Structures are given as C-alpha cells and as structure tokens.
Structure 1
Amino acid sequence: GQTEGAIDAENFLGNGEKVTFAGLEEANGKLYTSVVPMGMSRYGIAKWPDMVTDQELVAKADGGSASSSYTAGTIPSTQYPDRAWVAIYSGSSFAEKPVIASTDKIGFACGRHRSQYYQTIWAADNGDLYVFSPGYGRTFTSSADLKKVTGTKPSGAVRIRKDATEFDPDYYVNFEQIGTQHPVFRCWHISGAYFLLQLYSDGVEGMMQGKDAVTNELAVFDAEAKTVVPVTGLPSDLAGFGGEPYGENGAMYIAVTVTGGDKPAFYKIDAATGHATKGLVIDAESVATAGKLTVRK
C-alpha cells in the first residue's frame, strides 16, 4: 500500500517506466521537480507488458558495473531519452496528483555523474522556470548483449512561464550552437535571468566518457538574451570546483581548487561580464559547499 505523502515511482508518467526525481525548485507558490524515466523493472514489465516498446530492450542476462549494473528481465535505461518531464505540485502534499509538463525539444532534465543526479531546473527572479538538459540520452549506446534506445537531442534549455503549467512553445536554446558549443554538465541560478553553466570541456565526445569526463569549463547564460559568455579569470592550473556555488546580487561565488600548491579559494563571477576575481582563500584541502545565513529580526 501507499503511505500518506509517498510517491509511487513505478509508472509515474503513465509509460510503464520507473522514475527518479532530480531537484526540487520552489517558486510561484508551487513546487517543481524534474522527472527522469529510468526504464522498466521486472514488476513494471509484468504489470504493463504493452508498455515495452521493443522486446530486444529487455536484458537477457545480468550486466553492467557499479551504478550502471542491471539484472536480467529489466529494461535498464529509458525508452524515451529524447523527452523531458517536469511535475508541478501546487498543494501541500506529494500525495496530490501533480500537473506534468512535457516537451520533446530536449532530453530528460538532470546532470549525471555515476549514481549522482544533479538538479538542472531553476527559477529566474521573475518566476519563470528554466529547464536544462545535457542531452545525456546520447550516452545510452547498445552493446552486443543489450539493445538501448540512444538519444539524439543536443544539450538545450526550455522554460515554463511563471503562470503556466506547460512548456513555452516559443522558447528553446541549443547550447551546442552558441558559446563554446559544449553540452551542460551542471547549472545554477545566479540572479535575475542569469545562470552559471558548468560545461563538458571536451564537448559531446567528453560527455561520452562518463566518469572520466572533464568538466572544468564555466560560462554564464543570459536566459532572456539567449547568450552564453565563457567565464574568464580563473587560474591556469584549475583542478575543479567545490560543490555548490552561491549566487546573489548579480554575482556567483564558487570554490576553486588548483593542481599547484595553493589552497582553495573563492572566486566571484560577475554575471554581466563573466569575469571571475579571486577572493577569500580557505585553509583546507578542499571545499564541499558554501552558503549564507541571513539574520531574521
């Protein structure tokens, strides 16, 4: 049975697939979450056999490794890599049936690294929700012992207007045609309609390398103007970034680690220019995340 407030992740989208949820974004008195389809379980295949689009997709034997391992009798990856879904809750409980917005302009909306799923849906200050996709379905490739549905959609962004419950038909951005033309790995809202993008440094080819992918490239996306400006001023011996950045007042603060002997430091990225300037140095090996506490009087 289902407990109060619980979500049944089997057949959540009505296509027979189990799902996971990537990120919760609160805006406009609503709660938005990206719904990521993840193939069909044995239970799902038995219960909704007509939802299996191709019997060749059902694994004949156990396979894969680590977070990509799967068991025989399941469909290990989604049959719908070229579609994105966002569930919109407007009440006070997950037991309510959400409105589900769907689009085929982008693939499913989440960043991914091994078994980690990263939030890629963020609201701008005016309440419009921007939905980003790396086009990760392209990494689902068939092997000799397992057929998969391979995605074709490039990394892109779409939006749901503040007062809408479906995707804006007039808005679409293809990140592989602007800026450095690299797909998005992760992203965050800075302020206004500016977003910080962490990109696959080696493009789609780099993304296909999975856990070995290099993601040391940052850019600022102006969602209104549909422009991408590469971030400048970062150290030449950049090693990576520390967890979640923090944005406010037109700037993003992000912890940067380097390969040389220097300690991690915060860099302030100006959203309008994309220029990063070095700030606070932290006496530590690495930094996981940073935030700000506000005094409420």
Structure 2
Amino acid sequence: MKNCFRNSIILAAMAVGVLTSCEDDLAAEQETPNAPYVLSLGVTANGNTTYYVVSTDNLMEGTINAVGKGIEQNGYHDYQKGGNSIFCIGGMGVTSATAVVRGADGLLKEQGEFVFDNSLSGFCQVDANTMVGLEVPTNKESGSQLTFYTVDANTAAILAKNTDTAVDPIDRLDWPSITGMMYSGGNLYVTYTPMNSMTFETAYTDTCFVAVYSFPDMQFVKLMKDTRVGPGGSWGAFNGLMKDENDNLYVMSNSAISNGYSQSTKHAGFLRINKGGTEFDADYFFDFEELTGGLKPAHVAYVGNGLVFAEVSTLNPQTANDRWGDKSLKCCIIDLVNQTVTDVEGIPVHNGNGGRRFAYLTEGNNVYLPVSTSDGVYIYRTDVTTARAERGARVSTTFVGGFFQL
C-alpha cells in the first residue's frame, strides 16, 4: 500500500477506459483538506483490481476521481467504518487490515495494521473504541476453532486474540459462510449460510441460523433457529444483520440465487431479535416476498426510524442462470415497522457490484448511492422521506468499494 502516483493512475485509466474522460480535471493533484466524504474507487484492468481511497467535498457536482491523489491499495478489500477510522479489510488472499484516518493536515492517511491467519469473516463495532473481528478456518480440514480479535478502533491495534471457541455447532450441516455480525446487549450475533466449501452449493435453505457469543470472553451462548425464513444474509455481502436505535437487531433473509444461493426454498423476509435476546421475536415477521409478489432484497442499509434503503432484485423468478448475477436491481424504501415497500423514483434499474458489501452513505434524511449506468457511475441522492432521487457527481471508477463520512 502506498500513495498513488499520477502516472500510474493515468495508465490504469487508459487501460480500463472508465477512470477518466474529457470531463476529468487531469491537472488536479491535491486532496482538499478535511473534505468530509471518503470513497474507495475500485479500478479493474486486465482482470486485476486496484483500490484508490480518495476524499471529496462535493457529491452532487463535477467528477470524483483518483488522479494524482488518494491512497492506493492492491488486492481485494472490503471497507467498514468504526469510530473515526475506516478499516480496509483484506480478503481473497489478503490477510491484513489497516485503518484510514484523518491526519493533522486534514488529509487521509493510513494508520496501524493487523495481520490475521486467514481473511476476516466478520467485523463489527462494539463501542466507540472497540471493534471485534471473526476469523473462520477455510474449511473443516484447515481448523476447528474460531478466532476472535478485539481491535482498537482508533489505532487498528489488536488488543486481544481468542482461539478458545470451537466452530461447532455452526458447522454441523455444512461449512459456515458468515453473512453478518453485530453487537447488541452484551452479545455478538453472527448470521451464516451453510455452504459447501468446495462446490459452494447451499443445500440447507429452510432455516435461519444466528449464533450468539458472549462479549468480551467470546464464549458460545446459543444457536438460534427459525424456520419462517431461510438463512440470513448472502455470501460476501455482509447483509444478514441490521441494528436500530434501540439496539434491536433485524435479520434479512433472501435466499437469492442472484446473490449466490444454489436454491431458494423459503420466502425472503425479516425477523427481529430484541436487544441482547437469545430468541427470535415471535410477534414479528415481515414476509417481504409475499408483499412484493415474489421479489427479493439484495442489499440493505438501516437508515433510521425503522426505514431501510435497499436494492431489490427485479428478477422474478430467479433461475439457475442468474446465480451470482447481482443484477437488475431497483431501489426501495422498506419500512420495517409498518411493513411497507416504496419504490424510489429517479434511480434506474441497474446492476450491483457482484454481491459485495453495500457501498452507500447516509446523511440526515438523504442516502447517497453510486450507481452504474449506461453512461458511467454516478452518485444518486435519495430523500428517504419522499423516496425521490436526483443524480449527482460522476465517479471515475469501475465500481465504488466503500463510501463514508470522516
């Protein structure tokens, strides 16, 4: 990882054909100090992706690019904010994580690094100063113990490492693919999909599983099960759990073939776990698929007051040919309390980023979402109170891997 150089950016742009255009200011070589918005631009050329973490002070006008500025990161990365840091989490062979923070000069810089044995399977915030990471062995043959990391949210330093908790019982049907992790009321909650680690088949889609572990000692508490929906979340998207203002958790289940499932045997829907609880709320069930006539949410973001901003697949039904497609998505506002769904006006039906984490930003009543359109990637701003969107700045990138305010 290093600061990116203008020449390498321009070469990558020429190779990809998406990073620059005649509208780009190729003379711009400086970040604006204290620019509040941070994006990770994923630029793919010749099958390889390089990430450029950049900042901007305007999401609705002009073009956002990485020309001569930002932080360059090679290899696969996911991004998650904790405290005043943006954690850059390696995956698919990259076994390290760093924190991007705001320097004294107002510019972005990398601070701290921790290395793990395998790619992190889960990462969540416990409090303003503490993050927890979860590492699961690649398969049954490679290990039988989970590894929990307690991480300083400000320095990215490992504070504690716990290897005392067995993978069992979450591996009894098939190997667990972690789809979400959240802290609430003294417990860590983990959603997962039983998935064959060799073929990636999902033969067990009749039950939602949530494993509960105590914090800070990381001991197994309970395996929660509910047959009203299938497994929570989907592979690689880390979308199984959302938390509201009262620390209640909502589990999203889609069993969507276009998000990696090999079959779908239960309706997409939402369950609730009350703060710190070890039982699903028996009085709450939102059958999303029944309400929408067969549609499935692909990516979800809790934005406050019971509302969720979501990308929803318009493929109905989803077939085997759609597997891993993450395509033909529309945007919706989902009301978890009143159990309603409202289409967003102004955002075209579009393809996702291959099922990875949802890159969005919430600011007040607005949600900003980078959308890949026929004429490039643009940021759309949606007012969740009206479900109306308008198009803003163009982003010179193949896709946006992370989107934050810092």
Same fold by TM (over 0.5)? yes
CA change 1:292–1:161 in 2 (3 A) is same
Q: Give the conservation status (yes or no) of the 8 Å contact 1:107–1:137.
A: no
Question: 2:373 & 2:322 partners in 1: Cα distance?
Answer: 22
Q: Is 1:106 aligned to residue 219 of structure 2?
A: no
Q: Give the conservation status (yes or no) of the 8 Å contact 1:191–1:251.
A: no
Question: 1:287 & 1:137 partners in 2: Cα distance?
Answer: 23
Q: Secondary structure at the match of 2:166?
A: coil
Q: Is 1:134 aligned to residue 258 of structure 2?
A: no
Q: Which residue of 1 aligns with 2:265?
A: 152
Q: Secondary structure at the match of 1:109?
A: coil
Deviations 1:27-73 (A, max 9, x none): 3343221032225xxxxxxxxxxxxxxxxxxxxxxxxxxxx854xxx
Q: Which residue of 2 aligns with 1:8?
A: 166
Question: 2:370 & 2:261 partners in 1: Cα distance?
Answer: 32
Deviation at 1:80, TM superposition (A): 3.0
Q: Is 1:36 aligned to residue 160 of structure 2?
A: no
Q: Is 1:196 aligned to residue 309 of structure 2?
A: yes
Name the count of aligned residue pairs: 244
Q: Secondary structure at the match of 1:176?
A: helix
Q: Give the conservation status (yes or no) of the 8 Å contact 2:256–2:296.
A: no
Q: Which residue of 2 aligns with 1:247?
A: 362
Where is the strand percentage greater, Structure 1 or Structure 2?
2
Q: Is 1:169 aligned to residue 327 of structure 2?
A: no
Deviation at 1:214, TM superposition (A): 2.1
CA change 1:164–1:231 in 2 (3 A) is same
Normalising by structure 2, report the TM-score: 0.53
Q: Which residue of 2 aligns with 1:264?
A: 377
Deviation at 1:217, TM superposition (A): 1.3
Deviation at 1:206, TM superposition (A): 5.2
Deviation at 1:165, TM superposition (A): 1.7
Deviations 1:265-289 (A, max 9, x none): 2212222222112233334454322
Question: 1:173 & 1:207 partners in 2: Cα distance?
Answer: 26
Deviation at 1:185, TM superposition (A): 1.6
Residue among 9, 19, 22 paired with 2:179: 22
Q: Which residue of 2 aligns with 1:61?
A: none
CA change 1:88–1:215 in 2 (3 A) is farther
Normalising by structure 1, report the TM-score: 0.71
Question: 2:208 & 2:230 partners in 1: Cα distance?
Answer: 5
Deviation at 1:291, TM superposition (A): 0.3
CA change 1:276–1:184 in 2 (3 A) is same
CA change 1:179–1:207 in 2 (3 A) is farther
Q: Secondary structure at the match of 1:111?
A: coil
Identity level (%): 22
Question: 2:369 & 2:261 partners in 1: Cα distance?
Answer: 31
After TM superposition, the structure 1 stretch with the greater mean CA deviation from structure 2, 159-168 or 20-29, is: 20-29
Query: Alignment RMSD, CA only?
Result: 3.0
Q: Which structure 2 segments of 5+ residues have no match?
A: 1-143, 148-160
Question: 1:202 & 1:137 partners in 2: Cα distance?
Answer: 10
Question: 1:276 & 1:211 partners in 2: Cα distance?
Answer: 27
Q: Secondary structure at the match of 1:131?
A: strand
Deviation at 1:134, TM superposition (A): 0.9
Q: Secondary structure at the match of 2:324?
A: helix
Deviation at 1:180, TM superposition (A): 5.9
CA change 1:140–1:35 in 2 (3 A) is closer
Deviation at 1:290, TM superposition (A): 0.9
Q: Which structure 1 segments of 5+ residues have no match?
A: 40-67, 71-75, 142-149
